Amino acid sequence: MKSSGRRPLRVSRWSRVPKWENFIQRWERSIRLKGMSGTRSGNLNELWHAILPTVKHVEDWPICFGAVTGDKGNAVVGRVIGIDLGTTNSCVAVVEDGQPVVIPNSGGYKITPSVFAITTHGEQLVGYPAKRQTITNASNTVFAAKRLIGRRFASAEVQRSAELYPYEIVEGPNEDPRIRITDRTFSCAEVSGIILREMKRVAEEYLGESVESAVITVPAYFNDTQRQSTRDAGRIAGLDVLRIINEPAAAALAYGMGRDVDEKIAIYDLGGGTFDMSILEMSDGVVEVLATAGDTFLGGEDFDRRIVEYLLAGFQEEHGIDLRSDSTAMQRLKDAAEKAKCTLSLRERAEINLPFIASDGDGARHLTCEITRDEFESLVEDIVEQTLKSVELCVRDADLSMKDIDHVVVVGGQTRMPMVQQAVTDYFQQRPHKGVNPDEVVALGAAIQGSALVGGTEDVLLLDVTPLSLGISTYGGHFARLIDRNTTVPVNKSHIFTTTRDDQAAVKIRVLQGENETALENDLLGEFVLAGIPPAPKGEPEIEVGFDIDSSGIVSVSARDMATGMQQSITVNSKSTLSAEELELIIEENALSDVEFKR
């Protein structure tokens, strides 16, 4: 199939709803004050078209706008929590009396380790109890599952993780990575669902009531498959996921709470396993993402790993013993590396003492060494530089200069490292804003968005973007973009394509996401066939392919033969995600282990 060269025929139409007049009027006014040349969409009609999907039901509108009509029949019942599902730690928040608050767990901690384990007695542990037994039960303790979710087993990222992690990673029936601990095999969505269920329990214990609905955050650079898998994890946890929002956008919502100013802010988000960079504009209650970039396999785990490699090399040089094959020793090293990294954010040097780390014919061997901040910084200098490449791309895509950015906000625990803060300061020529807690700000923003979706927080309108371009494979193996990266969502766009052979009766639509001009180099999200095309010379049939991305970044695609009206459509569901049947089975199994909350 190839492009016919004709432009899209479909234009979405919409009508105003009284309860949302204030949002529309205020946003429209802010656009006109900036001048039409200041908008990226060229004219107001195109801008609305970029924001608003084709709405078939009035109940779809609240999710698009972050507000509700007030109709009790369509309103979401109960509290909506915001969950930051992190690689290393997770956090849950809720809005109370108009203010977002982080909910502490039963131990009084505001963050919970994203760790899941099964003991030798078959007991399932989540959070701190799971983390505390990591060293003694390394092969049955799962951490950093977020780095695997939504990926293919054969991907370089999964294969590298399989080499490094003490637990077993195997190939699943959908070419996805699965995690095998004890005698059970879990999908990555299921492990994340277990973490989310723990956050749900923490919220219910604090609020004294059942919680059914949530807004969950993901890295801005997550692709459609990773977003779908995160939504599946929410369902496994027993949650109605009202919206998936990007972590930098959530941080901006929390940062902007109560700030009645017009400004452009940069969010530098370096977490445990992922890195995001976003630039947003805040004006009169509207938070609009201008551009985003990042790396879904770069984060604090990589900083830890550099210290581990440093310790391994030093121990092997001194004692002639390679510890890589000893899972218990490796977990002790990882734990010590993380503690040393945190110490070096506060002090100039850190001591590492691991007695009885190994033994040989001469008896027990101990690992004792000191690492300085300068040594650590030299080990990770290239990782920090890699984040700045994404920063540069994001600033370029936003079409801004350094003087246009009013504030820089750093998010994620790894941003506590002095070298990272200095790199951000040097690049943006200003020191990062200190008014937010990097561990909590994302969950707070998710809670604000959740409250807005049920009318609890007024005057909040979040306009996010799709991080990667979307399109289809065309004749010759080319990638035809229909939606460019950094397009505001929700959005729908269509384009006319045609056949490449005489009397071609069917076309296969291969849905791709990525930036490479060659189709095979991009991620395949899904494929389907449009059949029943009447016989005709090549190039004559007109086939309209339409893309629809909702406010959570979930993709739907349709194809229609313009002559016959024959149509096929799918909500993109990558082969590497759970099938509908498997998802329902997992939900049922997890429901059996839940207990109903009673007041």
Q: Provide the pLDDT for residue 11.
A: 32
pLDDT above 60 for 561: yes
H and E: helices and strands count for the chain: 14, 29
* Average pLDDT of the residues in 241-245: 96
Query: Tokens for 148?
Result: 């695997």
* pLDDT value of residue 417: 97
- The span from the CA of 180 to the CA of 453, in Å, is 38
Strand boundaries in 363-460, DSSP class E: 363-372, 407-411
- Phi and psi, residue 416, nearest 5°: -75, -15
Q: Is the pLDDT of residue 125 over 70?
A: yes
CA 385 to chain centre: 22
pTM: 0.84
Q: Which CATH fold would you assign to the domain 302-378?
A: Actin; Chain A, domain 4 (3.90.640)
Q: What is the reported pLDDT for 524?
A: 87
- Per-domain boundaries in the chain: 302-378
Lowest mean pLDDT among 72-81, 329-338, 365-374: 72-81
Residues marked as catalytic: 84, 146, 247, 269
**Higher pLDDT, residue 34 or 16:** 34
Q: Which residue has the higher pLDDT, 35 or 580?
A: 580
pLDDT in tens, 75-124: 445 789 999 999 999 999 999 998 999 999 999 999 999 999 999 999 99
To 5 degrees, how large is the angle CA 419–CA 422–CA 424? 110
Q: Which of 65-69, 536-540, 569-573 has the lowest mean pLDDT?
A: 65-69
pLDDT at 241 over 80: yes
Contact 367, 393 (CB under 8 A): no
- pLDDT category at 592 given cuts 50, 70, 90 is low
d(CA 575, CA 525): 8
Burial of 531 (0-12, 13-18, 19+ CB in 10 A): exposed
The encoded tokens of residue 397 equal 């895509």
For residue 365, CA distances in Å to 311, 322, 333, 354, 553 come to: 14, 12, 14, 9, 52
- The predicted pLDDT at position 105 comes to 95
Please, are residues 530 and 509 in contact by the beta-carbon 8 Å criterion?
Answer: yes
pLDDT value of residue 118: 96
